[in-house]
Structure 1
Amino acid sequence: MDRQHAIARAAEHFDSGTFLADLERRVAHPTESAFPAREPALREYLTAEMVPAVERLGFTARIVENPVSARHPFLVARRVEDPALPTVLTYGHGDVQPAHPEQWRAGLDPWRVVVEGDRWYGRGVADNKGQHSINIAALAQVLAERGGRLGYNVTLLLDMGEEFGSPGLSELCDQLRDELAADLLIGSDGPRVAADRPTVFLGSRGSMNVTFRARARAESHHSGNWGGVLANPATVLINAVASLVDGRGRLLLDALRPPAVPEPVRRALAGITVDQGPDSPVLDESWGEPGLTPSERLFGWNTLEVLAMTSGDPDGPVNAIPADARVHCQLRFVVGTGWESIEEQLREHFDRSGFGMVEIDVEHVMAATRLDPENPWVGWTLGSLERSTGRTPALLPNLGGSLPNEAFADVLGLPTVWVPHSYPGCSQHAPDEHLPAPLVRESLQLMAGLWWDLGELGSDWPPRAR
């Protein structure tokens, strides 16, 4: 009974095809949380697949109704060896983005795992069914190697609305504080920095979706007869957005800019290279905040992106001044940004700048979180991954994307450590989502090592500085 045998069990679990068979069943559930008609599939994923899977490992599992969105239930499962022992909370989500099967290339089906060489294709293989399946399977191998005891307690929380913005997650954590109480969160979502580099991240950038609208009048009017005497809402809106971010992506409004990159974050990012694998786009070196490295711009800074914009009929333009215009934007922001007052400051800025016509509609906000890179759990996790793989893992102070980590970091007050099992080119949220099989195999092994190492700590939670 030792660590290496636990890791070997995890590798054998992959090599035998058992893990792939489990994933095939899970991907077959069409758990698209954006569509109300998929509610039965969301519930069936939990009741038919995940509850039996965790009960076999000694968990007591129950479906918990969402306090905010009735069609997005949760699974709460607890494995308590001794109430006096430390507890780790682990999180994943069983819902997926809309599949759009007609957009997948020939031979692929989002609801069926298709194996082509070293790649596994299917909706959810990367985000997030594959990732939480890896964690559960690795835990099972450690339990088998330890004779059915871990030396700590485990609580599993599965979210069936993460791709819909995780409605109700923070409220659930607030309501179930005692049931979800833990000493540490270990979650898996998002990508590694590169397929061949194990990664740890400590939180995520926040996100704010905001729509700007300009309405000038009820109808459009002939651009020759009225051009020069009627305000053009599209022109107003273009200039309003240009007052927030310039033509090179640099933020111009102080309210949208974060404080300077903290020194511990800068040190951590010094060893990070933004992925430039064959499936990744080529970086635009002159884009974004000047004076920062690409990794600092991606993981340590804020960005305002225009997601979509329209005025008139782009597919059939006519010679008329449009009546209205709108643009959908998204602010990604790091810890330290005063996001709570951004809507008010945008309003003041637009009014001061002569853009009073522009309306502001903040539609969704997810807070930014970041565990201190010098927290003892960080070095401990990096050390565990390095022992399992023989390679130095990457440390990201926070993910470039956004996760509902505030429910754990802020509501439950936990140190949050994320170990992702995907890579930047996996096409998550897009057609042809996939994972490389070697990455899956390695992830099973490193998670087996991580679950094993937690049992070696005894009462040393958190671990002493090493």
Structure 2
Amino acid sequence: MTDPSGSPFSQVDDREQRLAEEVRLALPASIAELSGLVRIPSVSWSAFDPAQVAASAEAVAGLARETGVFESVEILRAETGTGEKGQPAVLATRAARNGRPTVLLYAHHDVQPQGDDADWESPPFEPTVRGDRLYGRGAADDKAGVVSHLASVRALRSVAGDDFDLGLVLFIEGEEEFGSRSFANFLEVHREKLAADVIVVADSDNWDAETPSLTISLRGNVTFRLTVSTLAHASHSGMFGGAVPDAMLAAFRLAASLHDENGSVAVAGLTSREMQTPEYTDETLRNEAGLLEGVSPIGTGSVLSRLWAQPAITITGIDAPSVANASNTLVPSVSLRVSARIAPGQDPQEAFEALEAHIRSHAPFGAKVELDDVDTGSPFLVDTSGWAVTAAKDAMRDAWGAEPVEAGIGGSIPFIADLVRVFPEAQILVTGVEDPHTRAHSPNESLHLGVFHRAIGTEALMLLRMNDRAGNN
């Protein structure tokens, strides 16, 4: 049996063959469900309509109820650290029976803003299939994770029957793209309902469209707004330019100080980690990242050590006069959004303090600097010694017909640190439905449908085998 991209399923017994067939037959329905979710513009950022996130939560809850598996399906909110209500999450539960383990399935139904619609080849919230990919905001990150959980649960039920013994918790968050600001409180309030032996976080990627990977390391993050000021008010650039430093000049000089001549981070106190990495060439990087001809990669060390085990700093936004509205004035203040990724092993507060110290000591011309709107998230290293890691890799190998890669990720999933804190005994598996050409967070985000098929097959197979497992070890 083959999936749409031709990769074999290699399950060895009749039940597992039936499971693979159930996944294959249900794939069109799964794609239709995913398309329905993509049509809901559930951007969780504060400047966007919260009614759309609520509508998305209702749609996910409806799909969870339709599985017929869960004993309880609720839409819940928790307070953020500042006392506001967070975005709605879906929590569905089914108790374990006869000593079987409980598995928590996590994904998120909120999405990033779409950016400029003109940058999309098809409307961002109108799911569109081109070739073997489904395009749309959230098609991969992370509504495909939501639907892969639901599809795998349905496949499990079709083979194991209505009275299977595995415990299940479905937790679909509604504000991951906005910093998971109520996540920690949600865990505390619903600790008993969320307790599990294994936690599957379906919010990562795969080595490529033909090779699965299990994410075993994640960088942490530090983000903040940096405001640079040099003038009490705007002044004529012709009359005072050349003697008075404007905020734009100071901000650019300050931003440039964050990197050395190779493009490596030049902030004292930001650490790196020694890590063995698979082979990954500059040409692969160029192809997957979309580097323009003639533009060179930055940094030193192996490519993957730069992506997984070294810090990175990016200016992701700037508040300044637009080109269309530019006048001949010296700008008094400029604000930058600074996004830093920190290596596994570094404390995010320590990293923020290092960044703040660098900025204050490198502010040119005596410019005044202010740092606010700070968010931090811890990096993460997976303990690969548990039985669940072995079970996940075995299921990947059988469902993909390829040897899985233990991979790091340059991105961050800060809430995993909260899961470890609240559920220290749980084994955490970071999986996903993305591939290097997904373009998550970018225009023309897409999902490879073959990867989607195999990701569902992997999780369904893993759940079926865990349903046969006595105890939680």
* TM-score range relative to shorter protein: 0.7 to 0.9
CA distance in 2 between partners of 1:354 and 1:428 (Å): 34
1:445 counterpart = 2:449: no
1:209 counterpart = 2:223: yes
Q: CA-to-partner distance for each residue in 1:435-460, whole Å, 9 max, x for gaps?
A: 2222222222222222122223322x
Matching of residues 229-244 of structure 1 within 5 Å: 229-244=243-258
**Residues 85 and 182 in structure 2, CA contact (< 8 A), matched pair in contact too:** no
In structure 2, the residue matched to 1:82 is: 97
CA distance in 2 between partners of 1:310 and 1:210 (Å): 13
Matching of residues 17-36 of structure 1 within 5 Å: 17-34=28-45
Stretch deviating more after TM superposition (221-230 or 81-90) = 221-230
Question: Does the residue aligned with 2:177 lie in a helix, a strand or coil?
Answer: helix
Query: Would the alpha carbon gap of residues 155 and 203 (structure 1) be closer, same or farther in structure 2, given more than 3 Å must change?
Result: farther
Quote the offset at 1:296 in angstroms.
1.0
Query: Would the alpha carbon gap of residues 351 and 29 (structure 1) be closer, same or farther in structure 2, given more than 3 Å must change?
Result: closer
Q: Cα RMSD over matched residues? A: 2.9
Letter matched to residue 140 of structure 1:
R
CA distance in 1 between partners of 2:120 and 2:361 (Å): 50
Matching of residues 391-402 of structure 1 within 5 Å: 391-402=402-413
Question: Does the residue aligned with 1:2 lie in a helix, a strand or coil?
Answer: helix
Q: CA-to-partner distance for each residue in 1:374-412, whole Å, 9 max, x for gaps?
A: 444333322221122221112114453445322312333
**Residues 150 and 452 in structure 1, CA contact (< 8 A), matched pair in contact too:** no
Query: Would the alpha carbon gap of residues 251 and 13 (structure 1) be closer, same or farther in structure 2, given more than 3 Å must change?
Result: same
CA distance in 2 between partners of 1:185 and 1:399 (Å): 21
In structure 2, the residue matched to 1:299 is: 308
CA distance in 2 between partners of 1:341 and 1:321 (Å): 35
Question: Does the residue aligned with 1:135 lie in a helix, a strand or coil?
Answer: helix
Q: TM-score with structure 2 length normalisation?
A: 0.85
CA distance in 2 between partners of 1:428 and 1:447 (Å): 22
Query: Would the alpha carbon gap of residues 393 and 135 (structure 1) be closer, same or farther in structure 2, given more than 3 Å must change?
Result: same
**Aligned with 1:336 (options 339, 345, 364):** 345
CA distance in 1 between partners of 2:391 and 2:215 (Å): 13
CA distance in 2 between partners of 1:180 and 1:458 (Å): 20
Query: Would the alpha carbon gap of residues 426 and 342 (structure 1) be closer, same or farther in structure 2, given more than 3 Å must change?
Result: closer
Stretch deviating more after TM superposition (410-419 or 229-238) = 229-238
Query: Would the alpha carbon gap of residues 226 and 366 (structure 1) be closer, same or farther in structure 2, given more than 3 Å must change?
Result: same
Q: CA-to-partner distance for each residue in 1:93-136, whole Å, 9 max, x for gaps?
A: 11122235832656x33333322332222322211112220121
Matching of residues 316-395 of structure 1 within 5 Å: 320-353=329-362, 357-395=368-406
**Aligned with 2:182 (options 168, 172, 176):** 168
Stretch deviating more after TM superposition (179-188 or 242-251) = 242-251
In structure 1, the residue matched to 2:438 is: 426
Question: Does the residue aligned with 2:433 lie in a helix, a strand or coil?
Answer: coil
Tell me the percent identity. Answer: 21
Question: Does the residue aligned with 2:415 lie in a helix, a strand or coil?
Answer: coil
Q: CA-to-partner distance for each residue in 1:7-61, whole Å, 9 max, x for gaps?
A: 22111212xx222222232223232222666333322333344245345332111
1:190 counterpart = 2:190: no
**Residues 371 and 397 in structure 1, CA contact (< 8 A), matched pair in contact too:** no
Query: Would the alpha carbon gap of residues 432 and 3 (structure 1) be closer, same or farther in structure 2, given more than 3 Å must change?
Result: same
Stretch deviating more after TM superposition (56-65 or 180-189) = 56-65
Count residues in correspondence: 450
Question: Does the residue aligned with 2:371 lie in a helix, a strand or coil?
Answer: strand
1:4 counterpart = 2:17: yes
Unaligned runs of 5+ in 2: 1-13
CA distance in 1 between partners of 2:431 and 2:255 (Å): 36
CA distance in 2 between partners of 1:174 and 1:199 (Å): 31
Quote the offset at 1:276 in angstroms.
4.8
In structure 2, the residue matched to 1:62 is: 74
1:270 counterpart = 2:278: yes
CA distance in 2 between partners of 1:354 and 1:52 (Å): 53
1:143 counterpart = 2:148: no
Q: TM-score with structure 1 length normalisation?
A: 0.86
**Residues 335 and 369 in structure 1, CA contact (< 8 A), matched pair in contact too:** yes
Unaligned runs of 5+ in 1: none
**Residues 386 and 393 in structure 1, CA contact (< 8 A), matched pair in contact too:** yes
Letter matched to residue 215 of structure 1:
S
CA distance in 2 between partners of 1:389 and 1:305 (Å): 35
**Residues 379 and 412 in structure 2, CA contact (< 8 A), matched pair in contact too:** no
CA distance in 1 between partners of 2:464 and 2:439 (Å): 31
Query: Would the alpha carbon gap of residues 296 and 376 (structure 1) be closer, same or farther in structure 2, given more than 3 Å must change?
Result: farther
CA distance in 1 between partners of 2:119 and 2:98 (Å): 48
CA distance in 2 between partners of 1:224 and 1:429 (Å): 41
CA distance in 2 between partners of 1:309 and 1:36 (Å): 17
Quote the offset at 1:78 in angstroms.
0.5
